[in-house]
Structure 1
Amino acid sequence: AGALSVAHVDLMSLGVLEAPGAYGCALAIGEGQSAGNWPSYGGPHYGFFAARDEFIRRMPGRIVGETVDVDGRRGYVLTPPIGAPAAYPPGETFSFHLTLLGDARRLLPYFILAVPEMGLGGVGAGRGRFKLRRILAEFPDGREEEVLPEGERVLRLPEQAVTHADVLLQAGQYSRRWRNGNMASLELEFLTPLRLIWNEALVKAPDFSIFFARLLERVDELAVQFAGGERRPPEERARLQNLAREVRMIENRTRWVEVSSGSSRTGSKTWISGLVGSARYAAPTPVWAELLPWLLWGEAVQVGKDTVKGNGVFRRAG
């Protein structure tokens, strides 16, 4: 029960034969070299792994966004060590956060297997090597669960995931501080480069309405792609964006930093520059009450370009 049929096929034969899915196979695998390969691709051989439509979202490759519908957003975000030094001396410890989104969290074991291999091969310009010590699962209420205790090899996968109900509860608790006034201010700290594009141009000031529009767009598309969510009705999106336009920036302490990401494989670099620092915003308390849950989701999934490289980390100050 629950078994899937797999067909091993010659790729070129499918030009004259029925596709495996037509005769009940769920998956198809085979050697892909007969379809050709360009010289700069890498190795001389490659395989293919295909699935019927209903199984595409369950393929491991989708976690890195290789299925390109809905802009091919990745199923994870990386939060690097905040305030980390340029280099770690031998023996020093460090930590980073990895957030798996929606049903992509089922692939956590694959990440856990990959991290020690990364450590053996080395990362960064000096190919610094590291060992995995332990893994913790963190929750919005401050709880932690050990996924991989130090010195052990058995995973203890968390049974719970953060849900919208958790976020609403957290938002309600946070908004209690605003009950005694008609207006309230909120300071956001941009801890890693915030790289936003609006009207095909880089945004070099922390305009809240643009920031929130990109945040809402990202949350909605991730919900559809990885959590089986429905698209937000246009009128609901317009209502939230109109509320965001009521927010005014009253203090701006951000600066633009030039940052590039290098590839040891290609020898090229990609610019991931953006805004860092902090900004304070003011709005009527009912406006914040509506926007706060989505800001909390934004803290979890990060905002803007290059989130898989650690960009777009922000937090509420205080």
Structure 2
Amino acid sequence: MYLGRYRFTLIAQDEINLPPFIGSILRGGFGYSLKRLVCIIKRRGCSGCILEEKCAYRLIFETSPTVETPKFMGISQLPRPFVLKIPFDPKARRTRIGRGEAFTFQLILIGRAIDLLPHIIVSLSRLARMGLGRDKGRAVLHSVHAVGLGEERLVYDGMRERLFDPPEPISSDRIVSSFSLPDPHRVTINYLTPTRIKVRGDLVFPIRFHHLIKSLLHRISMLSYLHCGQIPDLDYVGLMRAAEKVEMIGEGQRWLELSRYSSRQRTKMFVGGAIGRTSYRSDEDLSDFCPLLALGEWINAGKLTTMGLGSFEVIR
């Protein structure tokens, strides 16, 4: 797997009032703006469009199986090749951004989606100018930085509207090699945004270690195959058997309910999940799980990761 991480910095031109978690607004606006930018056929849906195999919007927002990925034929919900990383304060009731203030978020791109960074920058710049939230508070995209492992580089200067060559994508091997656990028998996870993991169709709470590992195995496998053309070398059966022996200690998780408005379904939807710190312990060495945890910090876990849910960090 190969990834790119980009920090977008916007400057508010108006006062902007948003919900406490802005991931849904950003994701919805991003999709709307990108489709307006790249769609020249102006069809209502992507299915059957003569350009669907080469369309930037379809690749990012309407991921579908192709003749190159036949094993996923018949699966309706395939993981999209991007993840939003949104600053989030669970105690906040609103997000207020004053005129002239800067606010940032990160976007993780996976595999082929990295080549579409210029399209994404233009679409998010247009979204900012159109306005965010119910009051349509306007902003300008000030800059975009590629954020690597201990380094960053400017890839877009919004004041001069100039793009710069981005650095090479970051390989999963580099991410994994920079990761380690301070205690090989204990790991503490901080669920930063509501994390929604389903088992046999039902949301689980609290999230036990094997729930998290199963979600990461699923996401890493599908993202690698669909968007990077790679099949990861993972011992699925062995890892799951080992994960089921890991104990959860402490009760730091809590359920946080969020709501969002779905334009497609024209209704309010509830998208709660688990947040907070949880420690897991095992008599066995947990180092075999390091590759999954390292990548999971980048790609999130569970459902609705494209709007920023499922973000977690390993406390080190």
TM-score (norm 1): 0.75
Give the 5 Å matches for 1:52-67.
56=53, 58-60=54-56, 61-67=58-64
Counterpart amino acid of 1:257? L
CA contact (8 A) 1:137 1:146 kept: yes
Is 1:152 matched with 2:160? yes
Aligned residue for 2:228?
227
CA contact (8 A) 1:32 1:48 kept: no
Aligned residue for 2:278?
279
Aligned residue for 1:190?
191
Q: Secondary structure at the match of 1:252?
A: coil
Q: Secondary structure at the match of 1:187?
A: strand
TM-score (norm 2): 0.76
Give the 5 Å matches for 1:53-92.
56=53, 58-60=54-56, 61-67=58-64, 69=72, 71-83=77-89, 86-92=95-101
Alignment counterpart, residue 138 of structure 2, candidates 129, 134, 143:
129
Give the 5 Å matches for 1:1-318.
49-50=49-50, 56=53, 58-60=54-56, 61-67=58-64, 69=72, 71-83=77-89, 86-139=95-148, 141-149=149-157, 151-171=159-179, 174-175=180-181, 177-178=182-183, 184-230=185-231, 236-263=235-262, 267-284=266-283, 286=285, 288-318=286-316
Counterpart amino acid of 2:50? A
Give the Cα separation in 2 of the matches to 1:106 and 1:284: 44
Decide whether aligned partners of structure 1 residues 266 and 128 sit closer, same or farther in structure 2, where only a CA change above 3 A counts.
Answer: farther
Q: Secondary structure at the match of 1:131?
A: strand
Q: Counting helix residues as a fraction of each chain, which structure ranks higher?
A: 1
Give the Cα separation in 1 of the matches to 2:177 and 2:137: 41
Question: How many residue pairs are counted as aligned between the two chains?
Answer: 265
| Structure with the greater alpha carbon radius of gyration | 1
Counterpart amino acid of 1:110? H
Runs of 4+ in 1 over 6 A off after TM superposition: 29-33
Name stretches of at least 5 consecutive residues in structure 2 with no aligned partner: 1-38, 66-71
Counterpart amino acid of 1:262? Y
CA contact (8 A) 2:176 2:295 kept: no
Q: Work out which structure has the larger RCO, using CA pairs closer than 8 Å and 6 or more positions apart in sequence.
A: 2
Q: Counting strand residues as a fraction of each chain, which structure ranks higher?
A: 2
Alpha-carbon deviation of 1:112?
0.2
Identity %: 26
CA contact (8 A) 1:187 1:280 kept: yes
Counterpart amino acid of 1:59? C
Alpha-carbon deviation of 1:314?
0.2
Decide whether aligned partners of structure 1 residues 153 and 32 sit closer, same or farther in structure 2, where only a CA change above 3 A counts.
Answer: closer
